[in-house]
Structure 1
Amino acid sequence: MAGRSGKGWDDCLPRSGTPSRRRGGSLPGGQADHLGRNTPASAGRTRAGHGGISAMLLDELMGWACAATGTPGMTISLRIRYQSLVPLETALLARAHVTGTDNRKIFVKGSIATETSASTTLVEADGVFNAPDPEAARSLFPALKNAR
């Protein structure tokens, strides 16, 4: 949008390398999380966080949860449910975890809450990811050297 600059989420997405709960990243057992905040650049018309930013973050983080199992995945479907407005300039905790698999399909859940009220979900997501065959995975995700 004209007149806006900067990232929507500070330190927007999990980084590769050593995982850190404070900076975001993959955790053991098919989990990933990220601590960040919506900046004014991500505001929607309601002056709260834009839903598209929340969807993008959850999609990316849910992919990181797949990678945490050693099997990277690409999004097949993503269902987002907005429970409440996502505040600006507030510490937010985004979480994702793998809930199951069926052949090459990986099922993942994700959520966004404020850090101070982590049990109150603002946005939740369910996704289905496709695990590419191992050769394709190594080509698409070179950082994952041992992709299954």
Structure 2
Amino acid sequence: MKSVFVNYVLAAERLDMAHAVEVRLPFLDHKLFEFAKSIPVPMLAENGRLKHLLREAVKPYVRPEVYDGLKQPFIAPPTDLVAGNPMFELLQDHLRSESFAAVPFFDQKAVIKLLDGLPAMDAASRASMDPVLFMMASYGILQSKYGL
């Protein structure tokens, strides 16, 4: 999952830089950061609910669905997995490579069969394959760089 997250974070960085907006609003005040750093960890998450103290602080000012809501990750739009798209070509190269074949927990023949079947899929089905294919490509790249 870390490899999928990295792709989404990098996509968010590209989007916010391209449009000169900040998608992850930081707490820049150093005094606030020093205070937050001093808070005991059990106060930060209660019963598995993250950002407990922050939620309690803003409770009077936000709607219940925001207060009780789950974290929503920024998910980049899926790549158009069609021939001619540079990202699709990159996936093809990595998933058909010898380094990907060396990844012990993927069946490269099955992955190639999936790649070959993408053109026949409708757009929604291809989009659902995007995170899976990028995760597999990430493992292939890790294999080539670090030898899993």
Q: With structure 1 as the length reference, what TM-score do the two structures score? A: 0.22
Larger RCO: 1 or 2 (CA < 8 Å, sep 6+): 2
Higher radius of gyration, 1 or 2: 2
Structure having the higher strand fraction is 1
Q: With structure 2 as the length reference, what TM-score do the two structures score? A: 0.22
